Amino acid sequence: MLEEKIKNTNLLIKSNEIGPNWKGHFPNLSYHYRIDKDDQKSNLSKITNELTRDIWKWATIFYRIEYTRLQALKDKKLSSLFGSFTTLDIEYSHIVIRSLFDNLALLISATASKKRQLPDSYSDLSDYLNKKSLKFVELTNEPLYLLLKEYQIWFLSLKEIRDDIIHRNYNSMVFGNLEEDIYFWIKNRKDRNRIKETYPYYNFIRYNLHDVLSYSKYSGINFALTINLMEEISENIIEYSIKKKLSYNTGLSSEGFGTALIWMNKVI
């Protein structure tokens, strides 16, 4: 699954004269809701705009971390600042990820056959899939149900890591040789590495026997899976809700996409 998602992301995001550019189902869907007057009334344009802001924020965090790392390599005095800045960025990135997922839940709820029937929290939606699978399929469709189940374990691992940071006093720490990579962990006072316990792709990001992790690979994996999930949900909405092909020549651009692709391709 993971290698396929990484290859798909490489096909979706290409560099052009304005930088790394994502062209696919989600940019088309977002543009469609922005120009369609009927759909604007149903708040769908606002939801896809918020999703665009979330993915842009996340990519900007990647770009800022990598830019700061390169500056720290030029000036050793900046290395301690790099650790402080990046620690905060790593923790904040999990808040952005959670916001993105909740906006995906809003999008799914808003495009269901009956409005306000599905949860507007992705965590609650994930629970709904387990408890009311038949009702979910009735309100949406079976391919969407199977799609969300495919990504469920990965989402729940990210949710747990985010909840640990926000609610359970877990903290990130950045250290190591900046010339090689960005190394980190997320632990609490009992010295438990939460990512080791929850993350399904832990072995891909593990650096050594002391539970030191590669942040670039961790982010690259999460970015690839998120882009694919957004694309597949958008494709499903286009097929089952809009019911017509969208072929706008539009895309989303961010320098951070370029950083994400570099990090992502370290994994395979």
Q: How far apart are CA 184 and CA 91, in angstroms?
A: 11
Element (DSSP H or E) covering residue 202: helix 202-205
pLDDT at 39: 60
Alpha-carbon distance values, 108 to 48, 118, 126, 154, 172 (Å): 11, 8, 12, 19, 32
> Looking at beta carbons, which pairs linking 79-86 to residues 24 or more positions away fall under 8 Å?
79/178, 82/174, 82/178, 83/173, 83/174, 83/175, 86/174, 86/182, 86/184, 86/215
Six-digit token pair at 39? 């759909």
Other Cβ atoms within 10 Å of 127 Cβ, number: 13
d(CA 178, CA 116): 48
- Give the pTM: 0.95
What's the confidence (pLDDT) of residue 41?
A: 58
Helices marked H in 111-151: 122-131, 133-139, 142-150
Domain residue spans of the chain? 2-265
User: What is the reported pLDDT for 268?
Assistant: 84
Mean pLDDT of successive 10-residue stretches along the chain, which has 268 residues: 94 89 97 80 89 98 97 89 94 97 98 93 97 98 98 96 93 89 90 88 86 95 98 98 91 97 95
What's residue 208's pLDDT? Answer: 78
Q: Please check whether residue 252 is in contact with residue 27, taking contact to mean a CB–CB distance below 8 angstroms.
A: yes
CA angle 26, 27, 31 (to 5 degrees): 115
Residue type, 101: F
What pLDDT sits at residue 111? 95
Instruction: Give the integer Cα–Cα distance in Å for 259 and 61.
Output: 10
pLDDT at 40: 55
